[in-house]
Amino acid sequence: MNYTASQNAVIKTISILGCGWFGFALAKKLIALNYIVKGSTTTPEKLPILAEEKIQPYLISFSAENIIADPVFFKTDVLFICIPPKRNSTEFKAYPDKIKAILTTAEHRTANIVLISSTSVYGDTNETVNENTDPCPDTDSGRIILEAEELIKANHSFSTTVIRFAGLIGPNRNPGKFFAGKKEIPNGLAPVNLIHQTDAVGIACKIIEKQAFGKTYNACAAEHPLRKDFYTNEAKISGLSAPEFVMEKTNWKVVESVNIPAFLGYEFEISL
């Protein structure tokens, strides 16, 4: 059966390519919401962990040239691509080609693709940005991720959705540990752009619930405390040594969303 994008089709099955820190949390939430969830891993040892959570487990190996996978994984109503480019890796520059290979494999098997992206596509341009702002990445990872976004948006075989996450915090990513005990940390007066895993998962679920596909969403908490205030407070909460920041505001941005309130009406559960 070939899938074509259609409005208001019943969403029953969701495939999550990459059940890492975010993907696994999303999969478990979707199972709790009674969706059929297929989850992929590149690690054989993780297959029983997925199965234990009632996630249909698939071992998928992919490179820029080839994907070794059961095509049944890609036969789904929504495909989430949750595989960030691996930094400091020979695979880093091959990330866009990997995305191309995934799109080719998914063609005619799914209607909706959701790419997990990053607010790093904006760069630190010393301004407030939203989904109507032209991305201007100033890092290698930001440029590679933007290239992947453009590849997906240029493929008209799918309804394509992009979620640009700010810095992700939550279980096993305690921000109190990020700078604990460190000294002379630059840019202490810059605003932070972060989102808790709970809200990252919540926004993804709301997109499915409302079938608000085909758009780009900046997923970031509304609060933007100063780096020095936020990380010093988080270290204190965790009982760790306080970091010391340089009182300066050099390169920064404030990430806002116009599309989340307009199309999702999502209310954040965790404030900074």
| 64-102 confidence digits (pLDDT tens) | 667 888 999 999 999 999 998 887 666 788 899 889 989
Per-residue pLDDT tens for 201-221?
999 999 999 999 999 999 999
CB 217 within 8 A of CB 223: no
Share of the chain above pLDDT 70, in %: 95
Say if residue 2's pLDDT is above 60. Answer: no
**Span 111-135, mean pLDDT?**
97
Instruction: Write down the pLDDT at residue 255.
Output: 98
Assign domain 13-169+194-223+253-264 one CATH number from 3.90.420.10, 3.40.50.720, 3.30.460.80, 3.40.50.920.
Answer: 3.40.50.720
Distance CA 42, CA 63 (A): 11
Judge whether residue 171 has pLDDT over 60: yes
Is it the case that residue 7 has pLDDT exceeding 60? Answer: no
How high does pLDDT run on average in the chain? 93
pLDDT at 5: 42
pTM: 0.94
* Contact call for residues 38 and 14 (beta carbons, < 8 A): yes
Is 44's pLDDT higher than 90? Answer: yes
Residue 62's pLDDT is what?
Answer: 75
Confidence label for 6 from pLDDT (cuts 50, 70 and 90)? very low
- CA distances for 160 relative to 52, 148, 174, 201, angstroms: 30, 12, 32, 18
pLDDT confidence of residue 92: 80
4 pLDDT band, cuts 50/70/90, is very low
Q: Which residues pair with 255 in a beta bridge?
A: 129
Q: Are 268 and 256 in contact (CB under 8 A)?
A: no
Q: Residues 151-157: what's their mean pLDDT?
A: 91
Dihedrals phi, psi of 58, to nearest 5 degrees: -135, 135
- Which range of 2-16, 81-95, 169-183 scores highest in mean pLDDT? It is 169-183
Residue that wins the pLDDT comparison between 18 and 6 = 18
Where b means 16+ CB within 10 Å and e means fewer, 73-109 reads bbbbbbbbbbbbbeeeeeeeebbbbbbebbbebbeeb
Q: 21 pLDDT exceeds 90? A: yes
In the predicted model, what is the mean pLDDT of residues 216-244? Answer: 97
pLDDT of residue 267: 96
**What's the pLDDT at 156?**
86
Distance CA 214, CA 235 (A): 39
Give the pLDDT confidence score for residue 61 in this predicted structure: 87
Tell whether the model's pLDDT for residue 3 goes beyond 70. Answer: no
